[in-house]
Amino acid sequence: MYKITVTLTDMLSDIIRLKEVKRAGWVAKLHIADGESVADHSYSTAMIGMILSDMLELDSEKVIRMALLHDLAESEIGDIMPGRMPRAQKSKLEDVAFERIMSKLPSDSPRSAYTDIWREYCQNDTPESRLVHQVDSLDMALQAAAYERTKRTGHDVGEFISSADVVITDATIRDILEEIMQNRG
């Protein structure tokens, strides 16, 4: 019998795999096969989150960590577009995948801290988690506008910007979204 061991390298491979997971909406709805990856999205969400959390005097370290972790489960389950499965089913898949990924970290690592931050993001009931959810949508709107501006797609990106419009309630982030909407086309 062979002993199967899970190493830190296995977990790090999950992170690297995010570079290969394409954002499903760009592929399915805008037919952009070479569009951004989940890793691209997570990075820009973290950068935007850092800037806005500093401006809003929130816990920027927590926001950055949350933004970097928020889609990690997609390295196992892929990027599932809203409406493709019931929200509860998607949440369960994400929970199981995230726990499996975290279990690959050494027991003396801060994996429980990462899990706590990710759960806080999922619960969406703190100023930092609400900010990351809104920045997640803002990033989507910015990317949609960039695809439209650079003519990467011949399809209407309005659905993506409208989706962000529903989620974004913070006045500062709304101002940015309003500017995106005004500068379209």
DSSP string, the chain: -PPP---HHHHHHHHHHTTT-B-HHHHHHH--TT--BHHHHHHHHHHHHHHHHHHTT--HHHHHHHHHHTTTTHHHH--PPTTSS-HHHHHHHHHHHHHHHHTTS-TTSSHHHHHHHHHHHHHT-SHHHHHHHHHHHHHHHHHHHHHHHTT--SS--HHHHHHHHHH---HHHHHHHHHHHHT--
This prediction has a pTM of 0.92
Alpha-carbon distance 174 to 59, whole Å? 20
The domains found in the chain, sorted by start residue, are 8-182 (1.10.3210.10)
Q: Give 6's pLDDT tier (boundaries 50, 70, 90).
A: low
**pLDDT tens figures, 92-119:** 999 999 999 999 988 888 899 999 999 9
Lowest average pLDDT, out of 1-5, 8-12, 26-30, 71-75, goes to 1-5
| Average pLDDT score over the chain | 93
Asked whether the predicted pLDDT for residue 4 surpasses 60, the reply is: no
Mean pLDDT of 28-50: 95
Asked whether the predicted pLDDT for residue 80 surpasses 90, the reply is: yes
Q: Give 135's pLDDT tier (boundaries 50, 70, 90).
A: very high
Pull the structure tokens for residue 56: 């809003």
For the chain, percent of residues with pLDDT exceeding 90:
81
- Residue with the bigger pLDDT between 85 and 42: it is 42
Q: Give 151's pLDDT tier (boundaries 50, 70, 90).
A: confident
pLDDT confidence of residue 107: 83
